[in-house]
Amino acid sequence: MSGDYSSFLSITDWRCPACNTNTNSLGNTFSGLTAVALHVAGKIRTGDSNHKQWASNIVGISIYDPTVNKSINTLADELQQAVLEHNRIRHEQLSAKIRELVEAQLATDEPHVRAYRHIKQLETSLHEFVQDTLQETFVGGNDSWWTDGIPLDIRKKCANRREEDTHREELYMYTDLIDLKSIIEKNWKLFEPKFRRIGTKISKNEFLHDIDKSNDTRRRVMHPIRKDVTTDELTFLKDFYNLVYRLALPRNK
Ligand SMILES: [Zn+2]
């Protein structure tokens, strides 16, 4: 949250700045900013000292101005901005607290959970990188990137898998991490410029070896009897993901 008004308005948890309730006099949850402002205005007009105090502190004496105070609606209009601001800050603090908790949770996750997360990110990025690179080159016909870029044995395997799958995804969805290695190897001259573009020193063989290494960890992490993933492995996965992420970034970004 960076004070973005539109995303803020999508939040559903509105509270009164004075008494912290989130329901109106009928016991219904506030439907939005106007509802909270009307609640505060109503309380002020019945002489509630708590709400009057908050409003005169924050909004000022204008709330006692007869032209403002003449109806609950005009008074609510006057309060609206301050009510919004209060809820915006409250929501930002809440988001910050949630972020903190999530980050603390991630840090305490067991190594294999963290490894799993890195591998998922890595696979997604590498998958995109390979597809984008092939599609940039094989532009003749709809699926020439598939027929010309992907080795036949992998295409056959994917077709078989799709036949056995009730979901019947796009063929490329059935490739494995290790298939991506073969595809890059087969088309190295197409991938090589991307490595030069980001200025990495990693060689073709090192990169392909790193895919193997990630795949070994992947197999262990997915196995029901998990062996511990070491700190070195976690660091390796994270670094390798960062490299692939940079490779996969579209041009001019
Ligand atoms: Zn209230």
Q: Which residue has the higher pLDDT, 226 or 18?
A: 18
Q: Residue 228 class from Cβ within 10 Å (0-12 exposed, 13-18 middle, 19+ buried)?
A: exposed
Rounded to the nearest angstrom, the distance between the alpha carbon of 2 and the centre of ligand 1 is 26
Q: How far is CA 139 from each of CA 16, 124, 135, 144, 188, rounded to the nearest angstrom? A: 59, 23, 6, 7, 17
Instruction: Tell me the pLDDT tens digit for each residue of 150-163.
Output: 999 999 999 999 99
Output the DSSP codes for 132-161: HHHHHH--SSTTHHHHHHS-HHHHHHHHHH
Only one residue has tokens 């949850």, namely 29
Question: Does 245 score more than 70 pLDDT?
Answer: yes
Say what the pTM is: 0.57
6 CA distance to ligand 1 centroid (A)? Answer: 24
Instruction: Spell out the domain ranges in the chain.
Output: 5-108, 111-248
User: Could you tell me the distance, in angstroms and rounded to a whole number, from the CA of residue 79 to the centre of ligand 1?
Assistant: 12
Ligand 1: distance of its center to the CA of 61 in Å? 19
In this prediction, residue 101 has a pLDDT band, given cuts at 50, 70 and 90, of confident
Cα of 40 from ligand 1 centre, angstroms: 5
Under the banding of pLDDT at 50, 70 and 90, the label for residue 226 is low
CA of 39 to the centre of ligand 1 (A): 6
Does 8 have pLDDT greater than 50? Answer: no
Secondary structure element (H or E) that encloses residue 247, with its range: helix 231-248
Compute the mean pLDDT over every residue in the chain, rounded to the nearest whole number: 88
Q: Which alpha helices (DSSP H) does 62-174 contain, by range?
A: 66-69, 72-108, 111-137, 144-149, 152-164
Q: What is the pLDDT of residues 26-66, one digit of tens each?
A: 999 998 999 999 999 999 999 999 999 999 999 998 888 99
Residue 54 CA, ligand 1 centroid: distance in Å:
10
Instruction: Give residue 101 CA to ligand 1 midpoint distance, Å.
Output: 29
Ligand 1 geometric centre to CA of 57 (Å): 15
The β-bridge partners of 29 are 23
